[in-house]
Amino acid sequence: MDAYPAEIVTPPLALMALLGCPELHAQMHEYLRSHHKPPINSVGVANPLDVGRVFGERKSPLAAGQPAGILKADWFAKHRQRRPAVAVLLIPRAEVEGAPDAWQRVSAQVGAVRGATRAQGARLVLVITSGSSAAGAGHVEGPVQEERVSTLCRQGGIERRWVATLAAGEGEAGLRRVARLLHEAAGQFYLDDSRRRLTLHNERRNPPADLNARVAFKAAALSEFRGDWSTAVRSYEAAYREIAKAAHAPGSAGLQRFFEIAAVAELMHLKVIMLLLHQQNTARALAQFKDHLKLLKKKEAQPSFFQNGAVQAAIKRRKLGETLRNSPSKASLPPGGSVGPGAFVGQLVMTQPGGAGGPSVRKLSDAEFLAHLEAKECSTDHGALAVQCLQRAEEFAEAAREQCHYSALVATEHRLAGNPAIAKPLLESIAGVYRREGWRVPLSGVLQELRLCSKALDLTQDVVAAALELCVLQDRLDIGLRSALAAEAALFLAGAQQSLAFTIDDSDAHPLHGCFALTWGFEDAESSPAESSEQQGTGEPGPRFVTALWSNVPCSLHVTSVQVAFITSRGTHTATASVKPLDRGALQKPPPPSAEPQLDAWGQATEEPSDEAATAVTEASSGFLLEPGRWVVAFAQAPNPPNGKIGVQAVTLRLGQGSSSISWPLATAKPDTAMIGAVADNMEAVLAPLARLAATQGIKVEAGAASLELPPSQSPPQLRVEALGYAIAGEKVAKQLSAGGAKRMRAWVDVPVKGQLHISACLTSTSDEGETLTAEASLEVTVERPFQVATHTSGPARTSTLLLPISALPETTDAPLLADRLPVGQACLLSVDLTITAPAPVVIMSVALEPPVGVESSAVQVLQSLGTVSGGTGAPVTLSKGEAHTARFVIRADSACTAALVGEVAVTWKRPKPARRRASSSMLPKRSSRLISSPRASLMSPNALPSVPQLTQQLSQQQPQLSHRRSSSLTHTPTAAAMTHQMAVNQLLEDLPEDIPGAGMHPPPQPVTTKVPLPRITFAEPGIVATSSWPASVRTGEAFTLDIGIANRTQGLQRVQVAVGDTSGFVFAGDRRRMLALQPQSSTHCNLQVVAHASGPLPLPQLRLTAPAHDSFLDILAGHTMVVLPSPISHVAAA
């Protein structure tokens, strides 16, 4: 809108001519302009007799035919600034009512004004003023003489209502009244003028479209003057339609004609749009936009794209201007002539100096018009216009990416306009956006602009950076251009004129992230090559730092050296790395800088690198070529860190003459970052050798630094702890300590019953520099139980004892009723079952029953040891996990006793062979042990003594009667299980020979005796004793008597039921169930007549005695058999 004149884009205001009384002009002008709504413009004429120069003469109507133009260029300005609608004649009251000469002067002024305004049809308003200095000294108050007023109206040809009075005492109220009258008069004038023009135009026959448009436009403008907006819109739209007709009419194909129509149409379109938008009629405004674009043959677009369309148009215009400026043949205007705007809108005229008649003005020919346009375009600053348009579009853009796009265009225009300093920061920010989102094609365009800007600003480093980044973008630029860019960058890097330094961090958005790739790590000391061992032998055991380099730049870069900056507690140390290619041919001889014989990268003369040379490691003193698509590995010897900790600060490539560098600050790398940069092409293929390298090098990166734990330079305290893979409860574990690789010691550690055995060792040493170093190593050993013990007791054969409860005996959970009682005075059997639970075989050497500890005379006697079942007496037997070993003992008690201690089962066992080594912990670099530079106390307390394992027994009843089974297991108590078995072994260390590697690691197995306390047994007199007797042998069919004797040894009556059960093989005669009543201290017999009908060893019939009052029973014949011989009768019969 700024391109249009103010009279077009602002609403028109009525214009008044203030005549006479010049002292009132300023006051009235100020009020009409600032306080009245709507404002009214005014011009002042001091002498009313000069009014003729204001209104002028009316022009004659147009003749028939085509007018010279569509719309006068100054018509709007003329009516707003020079053609008043109302002539306001200010008459002092004193002159109206004064002397005759004054009255005659007033009459003359009214007549002159009337004559002047009659031609234009302007309205006349008379204002009789009073109270001012101009009114004269002799003015009088009260109404004006009406006769004089009537006379003035008659002379001016106006009605009485167009005469007003304005007294000085009225102030603003008087001015408001006059202003309203003037506004009404102006509205009348514009309305009458519009009607007059339309009437006149309607009288024309077949008026041309240009004239129709002109009349409609003027009618609209006059409506706008009087504030009739709806009529104004309708009239402007009608005018625009007429212009559209004129554009499509024959004869309008000329360039100047189209230029004029386009200019007028643009003006009318602007007025229509402004009024419609002011009325908030958006739909009609959009329709007008479409009509206008269609008229000018422009493509329709959404309003949201207007800014983009303006941007594209501005860029196209700028390009056209450049083309015109660079065109060798330019059209020229006639000499001496000047082209300027004509009298009509959109017309240009040529003004040439003429003769005596003055300069001649004529229309331009088409050639002259084109020449003028061309010259005008050439003189226009299109760059500034384009930048202005783009900046406006950028301001209107709401979305970030759209703004980014416009910013790129703005930056380009700035560069073309010669402002690279403004363009460069814009381009850098835009490049960051595209780089971050991976839009490489737009990025390449931005980088090209950035490179040109940097070049214009003579910023070599930025030029090289842009070139390097550009040359690795393969999406848009061909290989030729990329190679040229790379060569340019390489030339700058190789030159010694300027020092260029690039730093590539681990950010993906870094400009050179895609140009190079670097990975690094420390070499594992155990897998270090020969040269590393050699260096260790020379007393410099510092590790080697390994870094691999990759270049995506499509040209070879001459690298002078690879430098690695290490950082230790002493400071920074820089080492030059030796280089080696991962694939053959990656290293080639650098171009010789001089004619002198040069050594290649392998330290050889001018020969091509051989296969052997390609695998060798050499110093990079002479430099090498870093070629695209190849890995190059560089090794750097790290210094000895004083405290065993070292970090890598940076890796730096020295390029060319050594003044330029590319560095990677590793100290800021993220944890676990293995690579900085990206590798182009096939990642899998190129990373395969690097993965192998990383696997062997053991890359380790810590937050903020790449660090490695190293043994100190003086007396490195290496500490290794070794022990058996698992321990068996009760034995001692040999723990071997290896200090410094030479000193070996061993200590025996008691093993807890169950759980984890945590073994830790602490080695404290003092270096020559007086620094105390502490090394720690630890190991955990799992403790297993050797076996599980179960006991089984039984009474003597053929004597069954029904033990009844004795009230004198306490009932305990450990000795349930009838569970652990044996008869007094009888030899009983005690069986001990060992079930191996250790994961490895165990050799059982002996099992013995020992008397209880601390008891002088036990009530229980061990009569006989029946030896072992599986291995025989005294013979060691090797048992694996799950196998059982049984030992039996005959015991007897002569008197009744309660919970008598039987003794302990002493099992002597050992391991058959040493177990395999499970794990080791060493102080070799980065594997296990840590070096802590600060002195610290040992984690083991010297007061921590080995605890004695406490054993509990788990009892399980297998049979409720005389035969019952118990099991004991080696377990901790709940509190003991959670304890950590600790002991100080500082005083128990024993030295091992140094010349035998591994000596003492597997000492011969030592016998271990594990004692298991047996459960307590109660020996008591039986309440009811049953005896049974039967013949040793019978024949089939022969009857025999099964005698059952039952004795009641209690002091009360006992009822015993005798029940016969299964009698397989025998025929039984009599009642199967009998109830016997036994008097106190009495006995009775129960005879059963039985006949065997089968032969062979037959189990005796099932016979159960039950004491219902005590809920006890006894199968007295269970497990007994008798031999039944065949019948002789059958034998005779057979004979």
Residues binding other proteins (CB under 8 A):
299, 301-302, 304-305, 308-309, 312, 399-402, 404-405, 434, 437-442, 445, 476
Query: 511 or 1101: whose CB is closer to other proteins?
Result: 511
Nearer to other proteins, 303 or 874 (CB): 303
Q: How far is the CB of 396 from other proteins (least distance, A)?
A: 14
Q: How far is it, in rounded angstroms, from Cα 891 to Cα 830?
A: 7
Q: Are the beta carbons of 601 and 590 closer than 8 angstroms? A: yes
- Which CB, 315 or 891, lies closer to other proteins? 315
Buried b (16+ CB within 10 A) or exposed e, 18-31: bbbbeebbeebbeb
Minimum distance from residue 699 beta carbon to other proteins (Å): 23
- Three-class SS of residue 367? helix
CB of 438 to other proteins, least distance (A): 4
Task: State the minimum distance, in angstroms, from the CB of residue 294 to other proteins.
Answer: 15
β 990-991/743-750 pair status: antiparallel
Q: Considering the complex, what minimum distance in angstroms separates the CB of residue 403 from other proteins? A: 9
| Ramachandran area for residue 410 (φ above 0: left; ψ -120 to 50: alpha; else beta) | alpha
* Closest CB 1 distance from other proteins, rounded Å: 22
Cβ closest to other proteins, residue 315 vs residue 923: 315
Partner residues linked to 566 by β-bridges? 573, 648
CB of 439 to other proteins, least distance (A): 6
| Closest distance of CB 441 from other proteins, Å | 5
Residues, the chain:
1135
Pairing of strands 631-637, 544-551: antiparallel
Question: Are 28 and 164 within 8 A, CB to CB?
Answer: no
Identify whether the C-beta of residue 648 lies closer than 8 Å to the C-beta of residue 520.
yes
Q: Which is nearer to other proteins, 99 or 441 (CB)?
A: 441
Residue 9 CA: distances (Å) to CA of 5, 15, 259, 261, 266:
7, 17, 21, 19, 12
| Min separation Cβ 200 and other proteins, Å | 46
In the chain, what is the greatest distance between 2 CA atoms, to the nearest angstrom? 201
Q: Which is nearer to other proteins, 302 or 813 (CB)?
A: 302
Question: Residue 341: what are its φ and ψ, rounded to 5°?
Answer: -70, 140
Q: Are 942 and 986 spatial neighbours (Cβ–Cβ below 8 Å)?
A: yes
Instruction: Report, in Å, the least distance between residue 405 CB and other proteins.
Output: 5
| Nearest to other proteins of 4, 305 (CB atom) | 305
Q: Which is nearer to other proteins, 141 or 300 (CB)?
A: 300
Angle 221-225-227 from CA coordinates, rounded to 5°: 110
User: How many other C-beta atoms are found inside a 10 Å radius of the C-beta of residue 241?
Assistant: 16
Which residue in 299, 314, 271, 281 sits closest to 75, CA to CA? Answer: 271
Residue closer to other proteins by CB (options 402, 1115) is: 402
Distance CA 262, CA 625 (A): 66
CB of 690 to other proteins, least distance (A): 18
Q: Concatenated DSSP letters for 677-745? A: E---S-HHHHHHHHHHHHHHHT---BTTBEEEE---SSS---EEEEEESEEETTSEEEEEEEETTTEEE
Do the beta carbons of residue 24 and residue 178 sit within 8 Å? no
Contact between residue 882 and residue 798 where contact means Cβ atoms under 8 Å apart: no
CB of 311 to other proteins, least distance (A): 10
In the complex, the smallest distance separating the C-beta of residue 397 from other proteins, rounded to whole angstroms, is 9
Q: What is the DSSP letter of 418?
A: T
Grouping H, G, I as helix, E, B as strand and the rest as coil, residue 805 is coil
The phi and psi torsions of 385 (rounded to 5 degrees) equal: -65, -40
Q: Which is nearer to other proteins, 511 or 623 (CB)?
A: 511
What's the min distance (Å) between Cβ of 480 and other proteins? 14
The phi-psi region of residue 234 (left if phi > 0; otherwise alpha if psi is between -120 and 50; otherwise beta) is alpha
**Contact 881/837 with Cβ under 8 angstroms?**
yes
Residue closer to other proteins by CB (options 308, 622) is: 308
CB nearer to other proteins: give 436 or 1085: 436
Closer residue to other proteins in complex, CB, 448/713: 448
Q: Is the peptide bond before 925 cis (omega within 30 degrees of 0)?
A: no
By beta-carbon proximity to other proteins, the closer residue of 430 and 701 is: 430
